[in-house]
């Protein structure tokens, strides 16, 4: 039997469709996904540094003129996916894309690749990417936080990457469902319907897309009109970490003006994330911007301020007690939603299962916050999941079973990266 490293490398090589990596060999996602690609680059970096950079370069080839980097870049036949490019009808003239974005991990990954220092033409490549990263971050603050609150809002649950987390339930229920799209869905042909988002959720996902398409995905109109507008704590934490990494990259490259500009974004976001701390519950919660209310739901996103800021654990040790309590109730960490709650479903998409990419963010945040023992626990669990559950898309925290798409790229990438 080949070892895990060889298996993981084989998966990334197989899913490499020529400069970009599809998320799975199963056919479930026949395109390039934004945060999948960035996180997959962390895996490529372990055996092919040049290829790691290519993944990011290809992703930024889909960047829009206004700076947005889309959730999906459609680069091959996409009729096994719904909604595909013919539904989105979007792009930048070169690449067909969706019309929304995803968690901005790019600057964090580029910093990691830069600090490894082992890719060919590194200075030139970084020089080409930095202005694109800067435009991407500027876009978030102008398009998604026009009032300058420090928290950017997402306009679709898909932007969060945690599609049907219970955190969105109330905000999504307030969205008009539109006509049923049950007959158009393709995902349930690949994964059992019982583990995928429900029919009512999908109807609303698509109705949002249709509404945004009618506005030509114009950010100036979208922010005011979006029926789903949420300042997610996880998304903002990921952006904040990326802000810090972008500042380091810009300063390292001698772009002081750029670094100072991003420091301005980061200062606002640091204060706004801190204002999301709920002292009573000892947890971080995001806000429903559209309905101006706190979303008091314990999703894994509420742990991600640890990933954004190495001083969180010292300020709020209560946050760690939540994580410890979650870990006591499952065999493997970290469930994507608090176990023991009525919404927790260990096998259904983002309502309880484990994703290794989020585990990495949690364990990295814990280590940076001086929580070595907890960080090691999450690392051990992550590697054990692959050893016994294979390279699935995600894992059941109560049994460790691998679920969803098989030969999954970011699971393979995390296996390589976390073992390094």
- How many other CB atoms are there within 10 angstroms of residue 288's CB atom? 20
Which range touches ligand 2M8 (CB under 6 A), out of 32-40, 110-118, 274-282, 371-379? 32-40
Name the minimum Å distance from CB 100 to ligand 2M8.
Answer: 9
* Residue placing its CB nearer to ligand 2M8 in the complex, 187 or 381: 187
Kindly state whether residue 345 participates in binding ligand 2M8, applying the rule CB under 6 A: no
**Which helix or strand (DSSP H or E) is residue 402 part of?**
strand 402-403
Query: Which two structure tokens, joined as six digits, stand for 233?
Result: 């704590």
Q: Which residue is nearest to ligand 2M8 (CB)?
A: 161
* Residue placing its CB nearer to ligand 2M8 in the complex, 187 or 203: 187
Could you report how far apart the first and last alpha carbons of the chain are, in Å? Answer: 21
* Per-position x/- string for 390-409, each x denoting binding to ligand 2M8 as judged by CB under 6 A, each - no binding: --------------------
- DSSP for 314-381? HH-HHHHHHHHHHHHTSSSS--SB-TTSTT--SSSTTSS-B-HHHHHHHHHHHHHTT-HHHHHHHHHH
Name the minimum Å distance from CB 79 to ligand 2M8.
Answer: 15
Name the minimum Å distance from CB 83 to ligand 2M8.
Answer: 9
* Residue placing its CB nearer to ligand 2M8 in the complex, 161 or 365: 161
* Residue placing its CB nearer to ligand 2M8 in the complex, 33 or 332: 33
Name the minimum Å distance from CB 384 to ligand 2M8.
Answer: 22
* Residue placing its CB nearer to ligand 2M8 in the complex, 119 or 238: 238
Residues 135-174 that bind ligand 2M8 (CB under 6 A): 158, 161, 163
* Residue placing its CB nearer to ligand 2M8 in the complex, 188 or 329: 188
Q: What is the DSSP letter of 27?
A: S
- How far apart are the C-alpha atoms of 364 and 376, rounded to whole Å? 10
Look at residues 138, 227, 136 and name the one whose alpha carbon lies nearest to residue 176: 227
- How far apart are the C-alpha atoms of 68 and 91, rounded to whole Å? 11
284 contacts 233 by C-beta, under 8 angstroms: yes
Residues 181-200 that bind ligand 2M8 (CB under 6 A): 187
Name the minimum Å distance from CB 150 to ligand 2M8.
Answer: 24
Kindly state whether residue 36 participates in binding ligand 2M8, applying the rule CB under 6 A: yes
Kindly state whether residue 33 participates in binding ligand 2M8, applying the rule CB under 6 A: yes
> How many residues bind ligand 2M8, per CB under 6 A?
10
Look at residues 288, 286, 369 and name the one whose alpha carbon lies nearest to residue 323: 369
Query: Which two structure tokens, joined as six digits, stand for 360?
Result: 């990495």
Name the minimum Å distance from CB 198 to ligand 2M8.
Answer: 13
Q: Tell me phi and psi for residue 217, to 5 degrees.
A: 55, 30
Kindly state whether residue 333 participates in binding ligand 2M8, applying the rule CB under 6 A: no
- How far apart are the C-alpha atoms of 224 and 155, rounded to whole Å? 10
Question: Which of 9, 12, 21, 29 lies at the binding interface for ligand 2M8 (CB under 6 A)?
Answer: 29
* Per-position x/- string for 41-80, each x denoting binding to ligand 2M8 as judged by CB under 6 A, each - no binding: ------------------------------x---------
* Residue placing its CB nearer to ligand 2M8 in the complex, 38 or 338: 38
SS3 assignment, position 92: coil
Name the minimum Å distance from CB 137 to ligand 2M8.
Answer: 20
Q: Is 281 exposed, middle or buried (0-12, 13-18, 19+ CB in 10 A)?
A: middle
SS3 annotation, 168-179: HHHHHHCCCCCC
- How far apart are the C-alpha atoms of 68 and 70, rounded to whole Å? 6
SS3 assignment, position 99: coil
The residues that are catalytic are 163, 393
SS3 assignment, position 52: helix
Q: How many residues does the chain have?
A: 420
* Residue placing its CB nearer to ligand 2M8 in the complex, 33 or 265: 33
Residues 265-324 that bind ligand 2M8 (CB under 6 A): none
Kindly state whether residue 30 participates in binding ligand 2M8, applying the rule CB under 6 A: no
247 contacts 262 by C-beta, under 8 angstroms: yes
Which range touches ligand 2M8 (CB under 6 A), out of 6-14, 28-36, 110-118, 266-274? 28-36
| Chain contacts with ligand 2M8 (rule: CB under 6 A) | 23, 29, 33, 35-36, 71, 158, 161, 163, 187
């Amino acid at each position: 039997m080949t070892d895990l490293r060889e298996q993981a490398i084989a998966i990334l090589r197989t899913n490499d469709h020529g400069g970009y990596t599809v998320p799975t060999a199963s056919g479930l996602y026949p395109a390039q996904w934004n945060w999948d690609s960035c996180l997959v680059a962390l895996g490529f970096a372990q055996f092919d540094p040049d290829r790691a950079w290519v993944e990011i370069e290809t992703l930024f080839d889909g960047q829009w003129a206004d700076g947005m980097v889309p959730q999906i870049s459609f680069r091959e036949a996409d009729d096994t996916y719904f909604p595909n490019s013919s539904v989105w009808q979007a792009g930048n003239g070169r690449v067909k894309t969706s019309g929304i974005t995803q968690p901005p991990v790019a600057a964090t990954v580029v910093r990691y690749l830069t600090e490894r220092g082992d890719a060919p033409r590194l200075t030139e490549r970084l020089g080409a990417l930095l202005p694109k990263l800067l435009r991407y971050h500027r876009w978030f603050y102008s398009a998604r936080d026009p009032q300058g609150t420090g928290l950017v809002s997402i306009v679709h649950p898909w932007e969060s990457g945690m599609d049907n987390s219970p955190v969105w339930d109330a905000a999504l229920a307030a969205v008009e469902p539109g006509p049923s799209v049950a007959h158009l869905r393709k995902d349930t042909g690949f994964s059992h319907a019982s583990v995928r988002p429900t029919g009512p959720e999908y109807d609303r996902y698509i109705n949002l897309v249709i509404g945004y398409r009618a506005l030509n995905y114009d950010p100036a109109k979208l922010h005011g009109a979006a029926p789903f507008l949420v300042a997610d704590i996880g998304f903002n934490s990921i952006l904040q970490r990326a802000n810090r990494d972008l500042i380091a990259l810009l300063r390292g490259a001698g772009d002081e003006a750029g670094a100072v500009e991003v420091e301005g974004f980061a200062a606002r976001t640091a204060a706004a994330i801190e204002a999301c701390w709920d002292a009573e519950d000892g947890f971080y919660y995001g806000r429903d911007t559209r309905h101006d209310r706190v979303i008091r739901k314990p999703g894994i996103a509420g742990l991600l301020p640890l990933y954004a800021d190495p001083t969180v654990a010292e300020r709020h040790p209560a946050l760690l007690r939540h994580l410890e309590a979650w870990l006591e109730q499952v065999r493997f960490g970290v469930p994507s939603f608090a176990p023991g709650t009525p919404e927790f479903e260990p096998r259904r998409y983002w309502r309880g299962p484990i994703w290794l990419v989020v585990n990495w963010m949690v364990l990295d945040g814990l280590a940076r916050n001086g929580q070595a023992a907890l960080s090691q626990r999450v690392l051990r669990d992550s590697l054990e999941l692959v050893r016994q559950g294979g390279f699935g898309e995600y894992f059941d925290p109560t049994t460790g079973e691998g679920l969803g798409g098989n030969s999954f790229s970011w699971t393979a990438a995390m296996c390589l990266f976390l073992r390094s």
